[in-house]
Structure 1
Amino acid sequence: MKKLILSLLFILPLAVMGHNLPVANGKITYSEVVSAEGLTQEQLYQRLREFFTVQFKSADDVIQMDTKDKVIGKAWQDIIVDDGKVQEKRKLWYTVKLEMKEGRYRIELSDFHMQRYCLPAYGPCEPQTRLFPAEQILSPQNQVNKKGKPSVGYASFEREIEKAATALMANIKEAAAQSSDW
């Protein structure tokens, strides 16, 4: 009985760890409506469309949908995941959805996935480079390692998502605030 109680006391705080990231409909989703008083929908569209061109190497490769009031793109960036023994560079994939209306716009970051780079020493590349949904990686069963101790890699991945999303949202807001009148 003591073991059961001790196990629950150890596991319950770990189950809360994954709740540091915002979740909507079971998916990690960052969403914010930003006021942009005095800016028309067209001005916001121009600034936010330019954001994709500046932020990513090839806007054409990123943008999946482009209308006068909405731009949606799928992109990735490098992150470093630290499991306590090894730091490994991986790709963090996500979807950026920007919607514009007169005097405001909405940012939504969702569909976070992690992908390893191919390391030939570990065998064939295809199984190594599959995309894994962040929600699967951050599920409660992955919060502890095989020895029952807190997973350092889990916490590292969660921090990297938060860091990437926060920086991306700040970059979007900065782009929307900049006037292109030179």
Structure 2
Amino acid sequence: MPNTIDPLDYEERLTQAGVPAEQAHVHAEAIGQVKSELDAIDERAKATRIENRVDQGFAKVEKDLDAMHGKIDTCLAELNSKIDTGLAELNSKIDTGLAELNTKIDTGLAELNTKIDRTRAELDAKIDQTRVELEAQMQKIKWETICWTIGIVISICSLQGFIIVNVLR
């Protein structure tokens, strides 16, 4: 509350009212000191009110920050939970996919091995059949060669015999 007392004006009014000038001056100085002390008290009260409002503001800010920290912690916990759930789902899907791929690969390999074995058996059978056929042909060719050789030998012998008989005659 502002103090509007003017000590000089007060001294002048006392003097006009008949108070001796010296006494009016001492009275005015005392009023000036009271005014100064009241101003100081008023300033301290203002400072206290401001300090209280600042303290209240800091308390509110601190309370709001604590509430925000709580909300942030809750959000982080929810996000971590969602991330953990998502990772677990992804790991499960990956494991399932890998198992399916391994099954498909194993099935494919088994089918390929079966085809390879079947083809090998077919090729072995064809090779064996070809070998038998070749051996039969070789045997036939041997007999034909022997027959031809015998025929040639007989022809040569006959020719030699004819030549000898004709030469001797």
Shorter chain as denominator, the TM-score bin is under 0.3
Q: Which has the higher contact order (CA 8 A, sep 6+)?
A: 1
Give the TM-score of the pair, scaled to structure 1: 0.21
Give the TM-score of the pair, scaled to structure 2: 0.22
- Report the structure number with the largest CA radius of gyration: 2
- The structure where strand makes up a greater share of residues is 1
- The structure where helix makes up a greater share of residues is 2
